[in-house]
A and B are shown apart, each in its own frame.
Chain A
Amino acid sequence: MSEMGSLAVDLAGVTKVFDNGVMALGPLDLAIRHGEFVSLVGPSGCGKSTALRLIAGLAAPTSGRIDVSHRPGAERPGHAIGFVFQEPTLMPWTSVRENVRLPLKLAHVAESEADRRIDEALRSVGLAEFAGAYPRQLSGGMKMRVSLARALVTDPDILLMDEPFAALDEITRFRLNNDLLALWRSLRKTVVFVTHSVFESVYLSQRVLVMTARPGRIGAEIRIDVAEPRGEDFRTSTAYASYCREVSAALAPSYSGVSVL
């Protein structure tokens, strides 16, 4: 229980100025606890994805401090962060299995250990029987599942997801939402989920952080206090509707004064 109090991700006064002088982000303060599911919502171009890339270490902040902590006492080969991009981002020239193997191969994990973990990751996303398939043979939703399995295969402490389901149809998206929640409940990862969908953010997260227009800052924080496990009945509940209304209202100032035409 002691680790629940400690922070998985801690950003203080983080800003990002692009090479062309555009102030993309901040100053941004962000504190995410271990095991928490947090969504970042905001208008497009507000720096949500940039924030995620900064946490992942894929870009360096212009100023400010970024702390990403590991689960205390965890001594495992692999990597502390898993990243799921907006596109599946799979290597088309190799099979599902080899795609999921990539992070382990880069970390020089022994073959037999890798095989075991790949099987486990593929099972957890329901793709065990597609291990030999090539990405082009899969549907958009299945490709996204492979991408998720690849992010999970290193058993990361933190899962960063950058609008992962934005390009999928609604039915597939709902299914993946449910599967992701089930995975989160069983694995208890820290999840930072970027989305522009108010409905998705409320359905998934314990906490929704609403970002302002560029340069992105945290404009509002809405805690979604709903008893777990959530299911399809939550999607149609009045509580869900009122949370969605609340997030939408918090989001409205970001769009005011911005022409949507």
Chain B
Amino acid sequence: MSAADNQQAAKGQDTAARLLRFLLPLLVALVGTAIWEAVVRLGQIPPYVLPGPVAVIGTLISDWSVLSQSLGVTLLTTLEGFLAAAIGGIALALLFNQSKLLEYSLFPYAVILQVTPVIAIAPLLLIYLPQEMAVVVCAWIVGFFPVLSNTTLGLNSVDRNLAGLFQLYGASRLQTLRYLKLPSALPYVLGGLRIAGGLSLIGAVVAEIAAGSAGAGSGLAYRIAESSYRLNIPRMFAALLLLSLAGIVIYALLALTSYLLLRRWHESALGKEH
């Protein structure tokens, strides 16, 4: 076998491996749903106990007008919470980086906010804030800490010699921040944002559940709670499916952003051959 043949073979193997990574989970999903449907049909299980996948998809289609509206509400809450978390986390980290006194004074409270379960804070927030705002604040609380701690880590991970170089050439604080600290921190910030995206969705869902049926806002989690009271199990599954999909899409979008921003230089975004 010549070298070219070898390379060709290796390339073929690579493509095959990639195809497998895509096809295998799909196969598992297909087999799983098939078994699920079979169990429901053969066991003659009524839909208010366990609906089959066909019934869930059916509900998704028939209830689409209600569900899509709820999806929109939840996504908007998540987006607002995520943006607030991103801006708040990065801004706070920058402040901490400029002033140690501020960091010492405030960082413990950021940690306390993080370790207190959001599900326990949500009912209180709902008392003191208008419901829509309380939901966004919940999404913000769970999302902002990973952004803050990752950005802080990134800003502190600047190469010592590069920092010396900036000092040697008399760089101002602003120049050091802009040309050295922010680019150095970018991979860490993006890692924090990737975590915050998923957490914002969780925060929004937690707040919606806590708001319960009293809420006028009607997000997907609210639909799940409502359907559970009405024993509309197929709709619960349909709403859950949409929540999962929303989470996947959010993660994929943030991962793609991260890749696009880092592909020219950062190890995490480089292929194996480099």
Contact = CB atoms under 8 A, between A and B. Distances in A.
Given A106-B175, A136-B274, A92 B168 contact: no
Contacts of B183: 91, 93-94
Contacts of A135: 265
A107 B175 CA distance: 10
B154 to A, nearest CB: 12
Contact of B166 (A56, A93, A106): A106
Contacts of B73: none
A158 B171 CA distance: 19
A103 B165 CA distance: 9
A83 interface: yes
B258 to A, nearest CB: 14
A235 interface: no
Most buried by A among B159, B168, B186: B168
B179 A102 contact: yes
B261 to A, nearest CB: 10
A56 B168 contact: yes
A107 B168 contact: no
B169 A79 contact: yes
Interface size class for chain B? 20 to 34
B170 interface: yes
Contacts of A56: 168
Contacts of A89: 159, 161-162, 165
Interface string B171-187: 10001000110011010
B266 to A, nearest CB: 7
Interface in A95-110: 102-103, 105-107
B166 A58 contact: no
Nearest to A85: B161
A81 interface: yes
A134 interface: yes
Main DSSP-derived SS at the B contact region: helix
Contacts of A107: 169-170
Contact of B264 (A57, A58, A87, A93): A93
B190 to A, nearest CB: 12
B164 interface: yes
Contacts of B169: 79, 102-103, 106-107, 154
Contact of B265 (A53, A87, A92, A106): A92
B265 A58 contact: no
B167 interface: yes
Contacts of B266: 92-93
Interface in B3-33: none
B274 A93 contact: no
Nearest to B159: A89
A53 B164 CA distance: 9
Contacts of B167: 58
A83 B165 contact: yes
Interface in B47-61: none
A134 B179 contact: no
Contacts of A53: 164
Interface string A168-186: 0000000000000000000
B170 A79 contact: yes
A134 B164 contact: no
Contacts of B162: 89, 91
Interface string A100-139: 0011011100000000000000000000000000111000
A254 B168 CA distance: 31
Given A58-B168, A81-B168, 18 more contacts: A53-B164, A58-B164, A58-B167, A79-B169, A85-B164, A85-B165, A89-B165, A91-B180, A91-B183, A93-B183, A93-B266, A94-B183, A94-B265, A102-B165, A102-B169, A135-B265, A136-B270, A136-B274
Interface of A: 53, 56-58, 79, 81, 83, 85, 87, 89, 91-94, 102-103, 105-107, 134-136, 154
Interface of B: 159, 161-162, 164-171, 175, 179-180, 183-184, 186, 264-266, 270, 274
Leading 3 A-B pairs by shortest Cβ distance? A89-B161, A106-B169, A93-B183
8 contacts: A53-B164, A83-B165, A85-B165, A93-B183, A93-B184, A102-B169, A103-B169, A105-B179
